[in-house]
Structure 1
Amino acid sequence: MSRPKESPAPVTTHSRAIARNAAVVGLATLASRILGFVRDLVTAFALGAGLVADAFFVAFRLPNLLRSLFAEGSLTMAFIPVYSRIREEQGEAAAHALARSIQMWLLVVVGGVCILAVIFAAPLTGLIAPGFRDNPEQFALTVHLVRICFPYILFVSAMALCMGILNSMGHFLMPALGPCALNVCLIAAALVGHYALGDVATAMAFGVLVAGLTQWAMQQPALWRRGFSWRGEWSWRHPGVFRVGKLMLPTVIGAAVYQINILLSTLLASLLPTGSVSYLYYADRLVQFPLGVFGVAVATAALPSLAKLAASDSKEEFAETLESSLGLITFISLPSAVGLIALSGPIVELLFMRGAFTQTDATATMAALAAYGVGLPAVALVRPYVSAFYARENTRTPVIVAFVSVLTNVTLGYALMQHYAHVGLAVAVSVAGFVNVAILAAIMRREVGRVPRIGRTALISGLLSAGVGLGCLAVIPLGKAVAIGSIPVFGALYVAAAWALRVPEARLFTSMLARRFTRNKAA
């Protein structure tokens, strides 16, 4: 008996809304990532990949991880369903009171954590970078930078609350532009530190603080135009606060397992030769480009739609919307991963190899980038799965699965670093990503009652991506600039071929970009 032919996931109204909002987030994130490349270029020029660079990256990694854990991760994902439900059932005033109440709790709780972190910066640094204790100069510098950088989490947590409010109201642009402020501030700080102050690391640490305040300030005009004010009713005992808190506690791990794995890799890398932390940092920054522009964008846009469908118990439409999100991410992430791996050499050399960043540093970073690139599709697919579980108010499953992923990363990473140094740590992160998404997919399949119908998209995208990889390898001998310049050409050929083969995600992808650019042109 022949098996029934797999039909592609239907393009629903919610799917189109997700694609439209993902285009907004993606294009804003694209601007941020381009600025991020400029920031990394300037950072590599000013700091290189030595002792001082390692100290700054460790100091910045901690508040940046907490941003992913408590702010843009768990807070936003827990806040949106509760805020949306109160807004629908009790009206705007009650929903705004919830937001103000949470803001007061944030100031007290996160502010207290910042004070403790400043006081106990030395033991905190020893915990996240134990290998630095062997070098008193590096350890002292890292402690100094941690004290400056850490309060960033207070500002960015407040910004994440603004993002939750705006996303619930259907506005995605200003929150997505927030990271642009971080990049601009760090670029300016690095240049001032290099040319005027002679202390790049400290200047960049203060740049992190200024960026946090700027990101929060950017959201205020958009909130005001939509009728929200921080003045008004609020309560320490608002029932919605406790509902958000109850959802937040387990989401802390589940929403940011990739960042946790990266932090643990940083911890292990501190035990390796000097520069290992920096190699992993620069490689991760490059992987974050497609992951942020497409993977996180789709997951961010999908959460409000999935939450509404889960609340109305529309199980079939919920599954279709999830399938559409997974298919779109698969369609985009596969060629992105192959392109990063194939062009790892030209990309790293063209972007970073100048000033204090040597050929040795570039070679080590290339290897880490290739290892991270293998796991890019898995890491990208985790986000919509996690959003789907949280939309169904199932916060326990992602945490359990995240624990398995982290355990896999630490165990495998420690074993591989003995023979492959920092590259082994990057491989472990990729393997942990596949473990995470495989378990989440199996459990979600039982909850929605069917297998996501993205097999055809994955097969065709995989074959076309292989062609993209071969093309990239073929143009490398023509020079770094030509190789990098060929990326949009191969991207266009990939989409065109997928369109000709009737891949639905290709049509959804091109239509959402066409609508976005047409709207921008008309404006």
Structure 2
Amino acid sequence: MQPFLARLRRGEIGAAAVLVGGGVLLSRVLGIIRDIVFASMLGADGVTDVYVAAFRIPDFANYLLAGGFLAITFIPIMARYLADDDEPGAWQAFTAITRWLAVAITGLIAVAWFATPAVINALYPSFDDAQIASTISLTRIVLPAQFAFVVGALFTAVQYAKGRFGIPTLAPIVYNVGIIVGGVVWAAVTGTADPSGFIWGALVGAFVGNLGIQVFGAFRAGLRIDWSTAWKHPAVLIYITIALPLMLGQSIVALDETFMSIFGAQVGDGVATQLQFARRTMFVPIGVIGQAAAVAAYPTLARLFAEGDRPGLLSTVDRSMRWVVALSIGAAGVAVAMATPIMRLLFERGAFTAESTDAAASALAVYALAIPVWGVLQIVTRAFYARRQMWTPVIVGTGATVVAIPLYWVLADRFGIEGVALASVISLTLFTITLCAIWYRPTDTRAGMRSVVRSAGRTIPLVVPAAILAGLVGWFIVAGLTGPAWVAAAFALALGGLIYGAVAVGIGGWLYDFLWARAGGRVADAAPDDTTGEVQLGG
């Protein structure tokens, strides 16, 4: 334990990734538990679609201030001050930026409060009057939570920049606990399950987990508020310059969940809820693999850029990318093969019916194809952000959004719930491929690109046969066993998982050697890519 803590204090990415990954895993598990409780109490229908829709305006208000990117935006600024050994200057920059953002998000919340009826009516024409009224009410309850997200993100950024990753991992954990407790307490007190309880829980969880605890963590990391800092501090202009592209660009990453909600609601009652459960289940491996690696690597990338160490920056990106590609392809295989048992085990109980389970499982099987895409995207976007090239992901992402809108429209109309998921996969894949093509265009990045492609090429032959056989076994078990649905699902997951692992190690390994030999590749002599062992991610 002591060696691990020492490595974490030295800022090594591998140790940080383990810590962040553990925190993300716990938060994702709690998120799934939150959805299980929600599904069991409320099911998936027009009422639950209202809950999903209620977060759209608050999320967009957060996005307009680059709230989701605040840590990304502020870390390069603070890294520059720390590289110059000017910690007091970093605290002045923090104070100036935080003051302006607190004022801005407060004003934006007020505007959104009054604009909510018009916006909800425009976004959800398929909702009836009762759904519209409920969505407006729930939206206004949760809107103030954006203050906690935006201001709290800066306190989180301070901890990341100082190499402190423990307390920031508590934010989503506390947030999810708040939602769960809110829903359960509301039902216990009123005697009726209602989305309002979950919404109030989200509000409390945001202020406790995303703001209160992060303020404590930032001061523990050494933060000092300098109230004498001028409002016209130069760091504010630098922040705006970095954040402006993120505020203006309508990236498909930021709008993907909004499209899911809007087009899902048009497909039918309950579809938006089913899509949300499938999407959140997909994000468990994305969070543990891609998000953890990206969050852990980003402060190092920003520091390497500030120090002018281009070879070190490129090497760190490539190592992170190889690790994420290999693991996320494996995770995608499991999710595609075991989609029905996974969703049945997690959600099929109470008000959540077998029909809802089947619909959500079909969406998960499609969504899961994008797990490697999301993982790579987490790394490559932060690579651009670390170099302060904010416009590149934003311009490409905005272009992907323009392509995505007709895709969602056509595919949702033609294929229903699977079409909504497929539109997400296609648009995000186009976005990611384009960004990677731009990143790996310079000559000195080509070797890194080849190593990433090799990592994918070595993993896919292991995953495909394993996923096919495990999926067939899981299907026969789920279809053939009688009794409680969760028993068959658990048995299918257990046996399917064993088969998946055995095939990946056995037949998959043989197939890999065979294919590479037939292609003229010399596996044993291939250049090492450091995708295994302690070399990975600076570990």
- TM-score, normalised to structure 1, is 0.89
Give me the whole-angstrom Cα distance separating, in 2, the residues matched to 1:119 and 1:155. 20
1:239 alignment partner in structure 2:
234
Q: Which moved more, 1:448-457 or 1:379-388?
A: 448-457
1:462 alignment partner in structure 2:
460
Of the candidates 198, 205, 209, which is equivalent to residue 204 of structure 1?
198
Q: How does 1:128-143 map to 2 (within 5 A)?
A: 128-132=123-127, 135-143=128-136
Give me the whole-angstrom Cα distance separating, in 2, the residues matched to 1:448 and 1:116. 48
1:105-145 CA-partner distances (Å, limit 9, x unpaired): 1211001111111122101212332322xx00011100100
Give me the whole-angstrom Cα distance separating, in 1, the residues matched to 2:204 and 2:218. 21
Do the aligned partners of residues 438 and 36 (structure 1) sit closer, same or farther apart at CA in structure 2, a change above 3 Å counting?
same
Give me the whole-angstrom Cα distance separating, in 2, the residues matched to 1:486 and 1:240. 56
Cα deviation, residue 510, structure 1:
8.6
Of the candidates 108, 112, 116, which is equivalent to residue 113 of structure 1?
108
Task: Say whether the 8 Å CA contact 2:275–2:363 is kept in structure 1.
Answer: yes
1:171-198 CA-partner distances (Å, limit 9, x unpaired): 1111122100111111111112223222
Q: Which moved more, 1:183-192 or 1:71-80?
A: 71-80
SS in 2 for 1:450: helix
1:7 alignment partner in structure 2:
none
1:180-236 CA-partner distances (Å, limit 9, x unpaired): 011111111111222322252111111111011111111233222222234643331
2:299 is equivalent to residue 304 of structure 1 = yes
SS in 2 for 1:295: helix
2:164 alignment partner in structure 1:
171
Give me the whole-angstrom Cα distance separating, in 2, the residues matched to 1:174 and 1:486. 37
Of the candidates 370, 377, 384, which is equivalent to residue 372 of structure 2?
377
Would you say how many aligned residue pairs link Structure 1 and Structure 2?
A: 498
Percent identical pairs in the alignment equals 27
2:103 is equivalent to residue 94 of structure 1 = no
| CA RMSD in angstroms, aligned pairs only | 2.7
Do the aligned partners of residues 495 and 224 (structure 1) sit closer, same or farther apart at CA in structure 2, a change above 3 Å counting?
farther
Task: Say whether the 8 Å CA contact 1:253–1:402 is kept in structure 2.
Answer: no
Of the candidates 155, 159, 163, which is equivalent to residue 148 of structure 2?
155
1:187 alignment partner in structure 2:
180
Cα deviation, residue 488, structure 1:
6.9
Give me the whole-angstrom Cα distance separating, in 1, the residues matched to 2:460 and 2:102. 47
Task: Say whether the 8 Å CA contact 1:291–1:380 is kept in structure 2.
Answer: yes
Q: Which moved more, 1:306-315 or 1:366-375?
A: 306-315
Cα deviation, residue 300, structure 1:
1.2
Cα deviation, residue 275, structure 1:
1.2
- Aligned partner letter, 1:356: A
Give me the whole-angstrom Cα distance separating, in 2, the residues matched to 1:383 and 1:203. 33
1:400-422 CA-partner distances (Å, limit 9, x unpaired): 11012212221111111121112
Do the aligned partners of residues 125 and 509 (structure 1) sit closer, same or farther apart at CA in structure 2, a change above 3 Å counting?
farther
Give me the whole-angstrom Cα distance separating, in 2, the residues matched to 1:491 and 1:327. 22
1:46 alignment partner in structure 2:
41
2:521 alignment partner in structure 1:
none
2:505 is equivalent to residue 507 of structure 1 = no
Task: Say whether the 8 Å CA contact 1:181–1:214 is kept in structure 2.
Answer: yes
1:9 alignment partner in structure 2:
none
Q: How does 1:267-282 map to 2 (within 5 A)?
A: 267-282=262-277
1:480 alignment partner in structure 2:
489
- Aligned partner letter, 2:204: V
Task: Say whether the 8 Å CA contact 1:51–1:138 is kept in structure 2.
Answer: yes
Cα deviation, residue 103, structure 1:
1.6
Task: Say whether the 8 Å CA contact 1:192–1:203 is kept in structure 2.
Answer: yes
Of the candidates 118, 138, 161, which is equivalent to residue 145 of structure 1?
138
Give me the whole-angstrom Cα distance separating, in 2, the residues matched to 1:511 and 1:375. 22
Of the candidates 398, 411, 417, which is equivalent to residue 416 of structure 1?
411
Give me the whole-angstrom Cα distance separating, in 2, the residues matched to 1:34 and 1:180. 9
SS in 1 for 2:377: helix
Q: Which runs of no fewer than 5 residues in structure 1 stay unpaired? A: 1-12, 516-523
Do the aligned partners of residues 509 and 146 (structure 1) sit closer, same or farther apart at CA in structure 2, a change above 3 Å counting?
farther
SS in 1 for 2:84: helix
Higher relative contact order (CA 8 A, sep 6+): 1
Cα deviation, residue 342, structure 1:
0.8
2:430 is equivalent to residue 435 of structure 1 = yes
Do the aligned partners of residues 465 and 225 (structure 1) sit closer, same or farther apart at CA in structure 2, a change above 3 Å counting?
same
Do the aligned partners of residues 246 and 271 (structure 1) sit closer, same or farther apart at CA in structure 2, a change above 3 Å counting?
same
Of the candidates 236, 247, 251, which is equivalent to residue 246 of structure 2?
251
Task: Say whether the 8 Å CA contact 1:100–1:233 is kept in structure 2.
Answer: no
Give me the whole-angstrom Cα distance separating, in 1, the residues matched to 2:222 and 2:258. 39
Give me the whole-angstrom Cα distance separating, in 2, the residues matched to 1:173 and 1:486. 35
Task: Say whether the 8 Å CA contact 1:100–1:230 is kept in structure 2.
Answer: yes
Give me the whole-angstrom Cα distance separating, in 2, the residues matched to 1:463 and 1:370. 19
Task: Say whether the 8 Å CA contact 1:60–1:205 is kept in structure 2.
Answer: no
Do the aligned partners of residues 18 and 62 (structure 1) sit closer, same or farther apart at CA in structure 2, a change above 3 Å counting?
farther
Cα deviation, residue 506, structure 1:
3.3
1:31 alignment partner in structure 2:
26
Task: Say whether the 8 Å CA contact 1:80–1:168 is kept in structure 2.
Answer: yes
Task: Say whether the 8 Å CA contact 1:71–1:161 is kept in structure 2.
Answer: no
Cα deviation, residue 473, structure 1:
1.9
Task: Say whether the 8 Å CA contact 1:21–1:172 is kept in structure 2.
Answer: yes
1:5-37 CA-partner distances (Å, limit 9, x unpaired): xxxxxxxx9x99222211111100101111111
Give me the whole-angstrom Cα distance separating, in 2, the residues matched to 1:82 and 1:377. 30
Give me the whole-angstrom Cα distance separating, in 2, the residues matched to 1:64 and 1:493. 43
Give me the whole-angstrom Cα distance separating, in 1, the residues matched to 2:387 and 2:495. 42
Cα deviation, residue 256, structure 1:
5.9
Task: Say whether the 8 Å CA contact 1:495–1:506 is kept in structure 2.
Answer: no
Do the aligned partners of residues 98 and 510 (structure 1) sit closer, same or farther apart at CA in structure 2, a change above 3 Å counting?
closer
1:328-386 CA-partner distances (Å, limit 9, x unpaired): 11011101111111111011111111111111111111111111111221122112111
Q: How does 1:289-328 map to 2 (within 5 A)?
A: 289-328=284-323
Give me the whole-angstrom Cα distance separating, in 1, the residues matched to 2:53 and 2:205. 18
Q: Which moved more, 1:82-91 or 1:116-125?
A: 82-91
Give me the whole-angstrom Cα distance separating, in 1, the residues matched to 2:433 and 2:194. 42
Task: Say whether the 8 Å CA contact 2:79–2:306 is kept in structure 1.
Answer: no
2:413 is equivalent to residue 387 of structure 1 = no
